[in-house]
């Protein structure tokens, strides 16, 4: 396996690479992660079952699109493929450090700059990808309200029903989305798609970086909303973002709607108390 990965890295980079050193590192709850090195160059490698190669292909494409905006730092994708029973994704290795207020403010500014990257294709993406291990449907759609209603919340509620979840106000919520988003007409923005604290940080040199994306073109507010979902980013981040690309009126109500997507996904992945949290959010949205 490693011989095949080394050969692929050599082919793509044009520099002979032999991974003389390999060590296991955190790869999240879905993948195995390794740091591999020839003593001079180091790469980060994610491994999974060969059947999951499309997930890595989508992640590589998302990182490549974000990297090519020349805005916020992401790990540069090197190559991905399959070998035997495994699939792999090779990324640039970044030494991570701890950030300060200046770092977080710069992260906000650079994310705002990335969000200005748009497309004429509407809302969606080149392919379906995953949010966690859940399929994320990215069919191109000209209308944001329709896209979010059908391919974000609507799809999650389909999965909820298969899991046996109880969401008595689900249909009321889906019917209310056109009213909730009636005065909101966002441009399609290149979004990270899964921007919580575990997917953001900074390098040892203090450069802000984001990783593990669930990329698509959507309302930029979905990224900002998720940064607030699990404890929030430092205040400097939001200050930096607003300097470059201020949020529009009505964000507070939309924030809860957008974050419901992730809480429903957590219920579909993990069950438990996410059902009651999602139901509380639905009630809050409908009565706000």
Cβ atoms 99, 205 nearer than 8 A: no
194 is catalytic: yes
259: its two tokens: 């974050």
Phi/psi for 249 (5° steps) reads -55, 145
97: its two tokens: 């450090």
What residues have CB less than 8 Å from 11, skipping those under 6 apart?
79
Nearest in space to 207 (alpha carbons), one of 103, 64, 74, 110: 103
Phi/psi for 129 (5° steps) reads -135, -150
Would you give the distance in Å from CA 273 to the centre of its chain?
23
> Considering 4, 6, 38, 194, which one is annotated as catalytic?
194
- Please, what's the b/e burial string for 79-92 (b: 16 or more CB within 10 A of its CB; e: otherwise)? bbbbbeebbbbbbb
Q: How far apart are CA 18 and CA 230, in angstroms?
A: 40
Which DSSP helix (H) or strand (E) runs through 277? helix 274-286
Nearest in space to 199 (alpha carbons), one of 20, 9, 63: 63
DSSP sequence for 157-217: HHHHHHHT---TTHHHHHHHHHHHTTT--PPPEEE-S--SGGGEEEETTS-EEE-S---EE
Query: What positions carry a catalytic annotation?
Result: 194
């Amino acid at each position: 396996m490693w011989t095949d990965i080394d050969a692929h890295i050599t082919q793509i980079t044009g520099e002979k690479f032999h991974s003389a050193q390999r060590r296991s590192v955190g790869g999240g709850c879905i993948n195995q992660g390794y740091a591999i090195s020839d003593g001079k160059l180091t790469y980060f490698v994610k491994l999974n079952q060969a059947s999951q190669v499309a997930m890595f292909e989508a992640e590589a494409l998302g990182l490549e699109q974000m990297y090519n905006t020349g805005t916020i730092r992401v790990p540069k994708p090197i190559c991905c493929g399959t070998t035997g029973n495994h699939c792999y994704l090779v990324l640039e290795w970044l030494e991570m450090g701890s950030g300060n207020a200046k770092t977080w403010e710069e992260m906000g500014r650079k994310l705002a700059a990335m969000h200005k990257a748009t497309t004429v294709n509407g809302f969606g993406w080149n392919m379906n990808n995953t949010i966690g291990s859940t399929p994320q449907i990215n069919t191109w759609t000209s209308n944001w309200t329709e896209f979010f209603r059908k391919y974000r919340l609507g799809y999650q509620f389909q999965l909820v029903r298969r899991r046996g979840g109880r969401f008595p106000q689900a249909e009321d919520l889906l019917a209310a989305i056109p009213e909730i988003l009636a005065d909101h007409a966002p441009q399609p923005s290149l979004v990270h798609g899964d921007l919580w604290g575990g997917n953001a940080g900074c390098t040892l040199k203090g450069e802000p970086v984001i990783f593990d994306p669930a990329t698509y073109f959507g309302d930029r507010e979905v990224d900002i909303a998720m940064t607030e979902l699990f404890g929030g980013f430092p205040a400097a981040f939001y200050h930096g973002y607003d300097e470059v690309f201020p949020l529009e009126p009505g964000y507070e109500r939309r924030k809860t709607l957008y974050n419901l997507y992730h809480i429903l996904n957590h219920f579909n992945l993990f069950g438990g108390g996410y059902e009651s949290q999602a139901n509380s959010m639905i009630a809050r949205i409908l009565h706000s």
